[in-house]
A and B are shown apart, each in its own frame.
Chain A
């Protein structure tokens, strides 16, 4: 299953709500303001302590660059581009967008 988050974790509960229900082997894709969750500080404070080892977290390259985050994101994040985004939507079913 793929979860898509497009809201900043600092002003929205979308990611937190998603994490309540995400399964161990699910994938989470951060897009638009959702990529702020990929910040090293946010990841180490709020996500890594949850021990979500099996969960794969992706973030969209285009949105990371637009927001100036390329040198500031966690090493746990898998960066993908738009074709990678399409691949994720093809290989995961169902897809839930937590907007």
Chain B
């Protein structure tokens, strides 16, 4: 199929459990992985709280969709980026995250956004 978009970037800026938005974005990116050639994820601001380890929603009686982020490689999604400054501001390090990510500074993030064909914000 010639008309497939070359690349798609999901910009994820919401915390995981306050609103359904983060969960919806996750469902959409899995769906998109079946037709887009290349998908990248960029976690900014409170979005990176989605990746924090040890999330246990048992007491809230809701499903913890964030553990499914560990399975992203099964969907051929290997490009996961995190804003370095936002991670530092929250006192977190790469060791606090459930999957391997690439840390980017703001200049690198500008370049990353500019090189994608489609940008989706959640």
Are the chains A and B members of one assembly?
yes
Chain A residues at the B interface, C-beta cutoff of 8 Å: 6, 8, 10-11, 32-33, 36, 39-42, 61-63, 65-72
- Known A8-B15, A67-B52, A68-B56; judge A42-B45 contact (CB<8 A): no
Contact B60 A66 (CB under 8 A): yes
Distance to closest chain B CB from A35 (angstroms)? 10
Chain B residues at the A interface, C-beta cutoff of 8 Å: 15-18, 45-46, 49, 52-60, 62, 64, 89-92, 96
Describe B's contact surface by its main secondary structure.
loop
Q: Which residue of A lies closest to B55 (CB)?
A: A68
Q: Which residue of B lies closest to A11 (CB)?
A: B46
Contact A67 B16 (CB under 8 A): yes
Contacts of A68 in B (CB 8 A): 52-56
Q: How far is the CA of A10 from the CA of B89 in the complex (A)?
A: 9
With a 10 A CB-CB cut-off, give which of A63, A66, A70 has the most chain B CB atoms: A66
Chosen A-B contacts, 14 in total, with CB atoms closer than 8 Å, are: A10-B45, A11-B45, A32-B18, A33-B46, A39-B90, A66-B57, A66-B62, A67-B49, A68-B52, A68-B53, A68-B54, A68-B56, A70-B54, A72-B96
Contact A40 B17 (CB under 8 A): no
Distance to closest chain A CB from B63 (angstroms)? 11
Contacts of A61 in B (CB 8 A): 59
Other-chain residue from A33, A39, A41 in contact with B18 (beta carbon distance below 8 A) = A33
Contacts of B46 in A (CB 8 A): 8, 10-11, 33, 36
Other-chain residue from A8, A39, A67 in contact with B55 (beta carbon distance below 8 A) = A67
